Chains A and B, each alone.
Chain A
Amino acid sequence: MTLGTTAWHQHIPFAMALVDLAKPRILVELGTHYGDSYCAFCQAVDELKIATSCYAVDTWAGDLQSGPYGPEVLEDLKSHHDPLYSSFSRLIQSTFDEAVGHFNDASIGILHIDGYHTYDSVKHDFETWRPKMKANGIVLLHDTNVRERDFGIRRFWEEIQVKGPHFEFLNSHGLGILALGENYPRALRFLFEANESATIKIREFFFFVANLEGLSDTLQIKGQQLQNRDIHIGNLDRLIQDREQRLSNKDIEIETLVQKVNERWLDIGAIGQQLQYKESEIISLNKTIEIRDQSLVNKDVEIQTLVQKTHELSNIIAERDKLIQQIMSGIIMRLMTRYKLAVEKVLHPETKLRRYYDFASAGLKTIATEGPGSFWRKFRHYRSLRKKNSRIKIKPLKLKPLIEDPQKSVAAIDKTVSIVIPTKNAGIDFDFTLGKIRNQKGIREIEIIVVDSGSTDNTIEVAIKYAAMVHSIDPSDFNHGLTRNYGAGQSHGEYVLFMVQDAMPIGDYWLHDMLHVLEGDNKIAAVTCRQVPRSDADLFACASLCNHNRALIFSRDGVASTSAKFDDLSPIDKRRLAGLDNVCSMIRKDVFDKFKFTNIRYGEDLELGLKIRAAGYSWAFLYWTAVIHSHNRSADYLLKRGYVDAKLLAEILSYEPPDQYVDYLDVMDVVGCLRILYAAINLSVVALGTYDDNVKDTLQRFKSFVQANLNSGPTRLKNFERSGRYLDGIFDDMIKLTGTGDLKPNDSLTQSYFDSIDHFAGYVRAYKSVKEKEGQFVDALYKIFAIIAGHALADYYLLMSRGGGVNESLTYINSLLSEGV
């Protein structure tokens, strides 16, 4: 049903209330049109379940006031009305006059006149239908408040309202209600007896009720809006909570940052203090520089004089050179040269005979040039030195010439060499190593035995690729000596070579050269070769290898021997004789089987070397046959290594610890010496500044700074115990148990450190300066200290263990420094 916006809408609540209050038997409406008012009456009847019959009378053709309309209006009304109300309601399509005859007199309870609205029409309708009204019937007139056009209801209403109880609604074009007698339904008394204020209230009430629908829509919309607002508020609440959480987190961050800032301020304070010390150092250094400048000026003058003299001498030398050249080309010189060659060929260097010859030559020369007195002085001095020098002789081995003739073929050796390699995660170079081994020339057969203790990389795969025999053991079963024994036990060769997984052979005849030595002399039971540093080796690693060779007098291919009794030898000489190094050593299998490695934690190769030596064999060292092998170790590791090596020397080589710590009551005193030296090194490294000068001068400056800082006293040095890396952690661990103790330098310890620095200088002078290797250089200074420190702690341990004085702290330090090497 099409509900147009009619002027009757606001009267609908009253209409329904009227039906409820009046409960008419018959209700008639004249002029229904769309049916708003009529359906309101019907709805009230239907919902109240009143026994009312309703009749709507209209032509449904329109009039002059409403305008004509088509049948669709009635059809639309019927479509709504019939299903709902047709049980008690009828739509009569007729004129009012034609319809009136169908109603009995005094039968209608409520009559609603809403037809043509002229005065005459309304009057006619009222008078025509008046007889049909019950005595207490109610007549409704719509549009009583329309005062325009030809609407005459107002005039009629004003006439009729005096004829009985009445009420008028003014809104919605006005609705007049007329009771036809005084016996109207009592329920309507409030209406017809309402005074002025009651009238206003009644009108307001029904107006309000009429607009409630709109209000309810508004309320619904508002309700929805409120709901949306609630959701929005909920979201905002969550947002706020989230922001609060983030704010809280930021607060924590800020707190942490504030703490860090505070710590930084502390650091800045400490640095400020350091700067103060530096400034005072700078002042004193400036003074020193002033003095040096002055002496330099003096030196310049001296130099100029010397340059002049040098120039003169150069001229003399040039003339002498000329003369010498003439002599050199002379026959006497040629004869002398041949004589020298013959001596070289017949008397090998470093043999006894050669030494006597050299001595005799030098002696004759001294006597001839300086006189017999000078000779005897030098002779006595030489004798005194000889006692301190090594008693090891190196007999040179005559192997291939250094500059090989590639045309000369190398005779293959008809032997099998078994190569035993313990492995664990050998890494990417293992492929290179095994490839080099397999490509070795000049040997009948090479057998590779890999004993793997739990590799998780491709070590085993690579070993299989190169046809190695692979034996796997549990990682917990690994032992340096016993694992190698096991590997050797699987071998079939006449010779066994032990090497480590990261030693890479150099050249195609590496194996052949070592085997050739053993084949050439039955008395040589073992041969080891040189280690060349890897291209990624740091300064310390390179220096260690270089100095290792120097210390063991490895500078050419040779065999070490001695005429002295073994027990009379110094530990270093014993080490030179022990010789074997499991990085790469080849041993006769039958000799190895007699002795084998023992079950010790470290030094199994040295120990075997000594046993072989004791059995009357010797070993050879090849300088011109090598493997590539080096490690860049941390200072922490080297501290432990220094410790373990010193104990090893004592155990195997009867090294006696010095007595410089004999008066120290506790290991924390030794730790105290180390800490103060460490602090002096920290400070001195910072003081070094630049590294532009030559290495020798840089190291000299460093040593001066260290000594000066040690002299400045422990109170000052205490502030510099931490370097920010290196050994901070391990010293912390020691201090935890030993306590902080006194910081007191030990001169012998300091001297040991300086001696090691000098050894390091012996290597690092290969570099002009270390300014492009500053990091590695500084690392080396600490690594050298680490070795010395380990040694010192081991010395103390050895002293105490001999005297039965190993306490809990020392036991802890012993276990701390023995693990992980």
Chain B
Amino acid sequence: MNILFALHQFFPKHYTGTERLVLNLSKQMQRMGHSVNILTYGITEDEGFTQHDSGFYIKEYEYQGVPVISIRHELITAESDLTIFDLTMEKIVGKNISHAKFDIVHVCHAMRIGVIIKVARQKNIPIVLTLTDFWLMCPKGIAVTPDGQLCLNSENGNKCLSKCYESNLKSRMKRRVHDLAEVNKSVDCVVSATKFLKQVYAHSSFSSEIKLIPFGKDYSNVRSNQKTYAAHSDITLGFMSTMVEHKGAHVLINAFNMVKMGNIKLKIYGDYFGQTHYYNILKDMAQDNRNIEFCGAYKYEDMADILDDIDVLVVPSTWWENSPLVLLRALAHKVPAIVSDLGGMTEVITDGENGFTFEAGNAESLAKVLRKIGQDPVILNELKARIQPPPRIEEEAFAYEKIYAGLIRKKELY
């Protein structure tokens, strides 16, 4: 099979969750004998482009053996992140994927590159859509209003205009609603990694049936954290994420400050990507506590070492996390986790079984959990023993391969 993955941004400059899962999936597909290409939008790319065509820059490169086609407008506007079908891109996208006969188009994030759905439909190529966040129904992608309220229903775009966007974007919001309906009709198969996201979209946006395929972990660089804990063991908590508000680092620091136990320390890993104001707030909150350490940004390759070092991962997000890859990675390493009770994380962590949950945004609730662990570190041994390894990338790829084959066979029949 010849598979085209499409998403809004890609390596080497962008390397967060969706990019990582597409990279892992495409590499596994190659191992299984399928040809793969990535179609992406060069949102922060400003060099290396080899073609200039009709107001677009195009370049082709390989990343870790996966061929990539990157396209971007000469002039990128802010609204490009709002539009599902940017029709100005239709021709250029069609032209740049015509060199190969693709059997499947797999859209993993429709931002900026969503027009591929129209192009694939025109070429009669079956389309698979994987939902990775809320972007199709929430232009901000995180379904949280500026005042921190969770927002799972845009009310056909009216709530977006009243809460998050200026009224001059009214036509764009309406257009989004229209385009989403067309996506619904155009794609042949919709997949979610979590029941949570499936329910959200099934409830509000998609009438088509949504399949469930959990994200798979690449175990080739996974080690198992073999530490055991005694009654007076020291505990290191880890926070491993970007330092933006909805990831909840402030909740964790607040909770940690309430817990005055000398045998627990907190290590905070992650970049703040220019969010200096928020980062400074975090530093101020932590300045009087010697047991809090800011360890800076980390690379993917560093994760194994970090997970060897920490004892518990904390994911204190205040938004609807879907299936954070760092959580899956921690579980694969046999590191228990404390997560907020929002979104898809509670499908992976069962309170008291393989980790703990706490009320999202509530520092006291989190502090209670931290105290429990600090007073009796031995409970971590039980949690670790009950951790079921997350699914593997081979399983995820196999499940998608079946879908691709089924869609191709259906197309051949019809």
Contacts and interface: CB of A to CB of B under 8 A. Distances in A.
Interface of A: 337, 340-341, 344, 401-403, 405-407, 428-429, 431-432, 435, 504, 506-507, 532-537, 542, 546, 624, 626, 628, 763, 765-773
Given A341-B413, A344-B413, A431-B389, A534 B394 contact: yes
A403 B187 CA distance: 14
A766 B414 CA distance: 27
B394 A532 contact: yes
Contacts, number: 93
A769 B67 CA distance: 9
A506 B209 CA distance: 23
A406 B413 CA distance: 23
Given A344-B413, A507-B399, A532-B394, A401 B406 contact: yes
B406 A403 contact: yes
A529 to B, nearest CB: 11
Contacts of A532: 32, 394, 397-398
Given A506-B394, A533-B394, A628-B394, 14 more contacts: A403-B407, A403-B410, A406-B211, A431-B389, A432-B392, A504-B392, A535-B27, A536-B219, A542-B30, A542-B32, A542-B33, A626-B398, A767-B35, A770-B65
B406 A535 contact: no
Nearest to A556: B405
A403 B189 contact: yes
11 contacts: A341-B413, A401-B406, A402-B409, A403-B189, A405-B209, A506-B395, A506-B399, A535-B392, A535-B394, A767-B30, A769-B62
Interface string B130-144: 000000000000000
A396 to B, nearest CB: 11
B340 interface: no
B88 interface: no
A242 to B, nearest CB: 43
Interface string B12-39: 0000000000001001101111111000
A348 to B, nearest CB: 13
B212 interface: yes
Interface in B304-340: none
A533 B224 contact: no
Nearest to A344: B413
A534 B28 CA distance: 8
A788 to B, nearest CB: 22
B406 A768 contact: no
Contacts of B348: none
Contacts of A506: 394-395, 398-399
Would you list the 6 A-B pairs with minimal beta carbon distance, nearest first? A402-B406, A536-B220, A403-B406, A546-B33, A772-B65, A768-B67
B403 A403 contact: yes
Nearest to B403: A403
Interface in B380-414: 388-389, 392-395, 397-399, 402-403, 405-407, 409-410, 413-414
B220 A772 contact: no
A768 B62 contact: yes
Question: Which of B31, B33, B403 has the most chain A CB atoms inside 10 A of its CB?
Answer: B31
Contacts of B24: 535
Contacts of A542: 30-33
B218 interface: yes
Contacts of A403: 189, 211, 402-403, 406-407, 410
A97 to B, nearest CB: 97
Interface in B130-163: none
Contacts of A337: 414
A685 to B, nearest CB: 19
Contacts of A534: 220, 394
Contact of A406 (B212, B398, B414): B212
B50 interface: no
A406 B191 CA distance: 12
B64 interface: yes
Contact of B33 (A405, A628, A763, A768): A763
A692 to B, nearest CB: 10
Contacts of A406: 209, 211-212
A428 B33 CA distance: 27
A337 B413 CA distance: 8
Contacts of A432: 389, 392
Contacts of A537: 31
Contact of B31 (A340, A533, A769, A771): A533
A766 B34 contact: yes
A507 B24 CA distance: 19
Nearest to B224: A428
B1 to A, nearest CB: 9
Nearest to B217: A535
A695 B34 CA distance: 14
B396 to A, nearest CB: 10
B392 A765 contact: no
Contacts of B36: 766
A535 B393 contact: yes
B32 A402 contact: no
Nearest to B3: A766
Contacts of B62: 768-769, 771-772
A402 B402 contact: yes
Interface string B366-387: 0000000000000000000000
A773 B394 contact: no
A533 B34 CA distance: 12
Contacts of B31: 533, 535, 537, 542
Contact of B402 (A431, A624, A763, A769): A624
A218 B390 CA distance: 89
Nearest to A773: B65
B64 A772 contact: yes
A537 B27 CA distance: 11
Question: Which of B67, B209, B394 has the most chain A CB atoms inside 10 A of its CB?
Answer: B394
A340 B413 CA distance: 7
Nearest to A772: B65
Contacts of B410: 403
Contacts of B64: 772
Contacts of B388: 435
A435 B389 contact: yes
A401 B189 CA distance: 14
A341 B32 CA distance: 30
A402 B35 CA distance: 20
Contacts of B405: 402, 624
A504 B220 CA distance: 14
A73 B318 CA distance: 102
Contacts of B394: 504, 506, 532-535, 628
Contacts of B393: 535
Given A402-B403, A770-B65, A507 B395 contact: yes
Contacts of A772: 62, 64-65
Question: Which of A626, A767, A768, A772 has the most chain B CB atoms inside 10 A of its CB?
Answer: A768
A499 to B, nearest CB: 16
Interface string B43-67: 0000000000000000000101101
Contacts of A405: 209
Nearest to B218: A535
Contacts of B414: 337, 341
A428 B224 CA distance: 8
Contacts of A771: 62
A533 to B, nearest CB: 5
Nearest to A465: B385
Contact of B220 (A401, A407, A435, A535): A535
Contacts of A341: 413-414
A534 B27 CA distance: 11
A766 to B, nearest CB: 5
A766 B220 contact: no
A536 to B, nearest CB: 4
A774 B294 CA distance: 39
Interface string B252-293: 000000000000000000000000000000000000000000
Nearest to B220: A536
Contact of A535 (B33, B34, B67, B219): B219
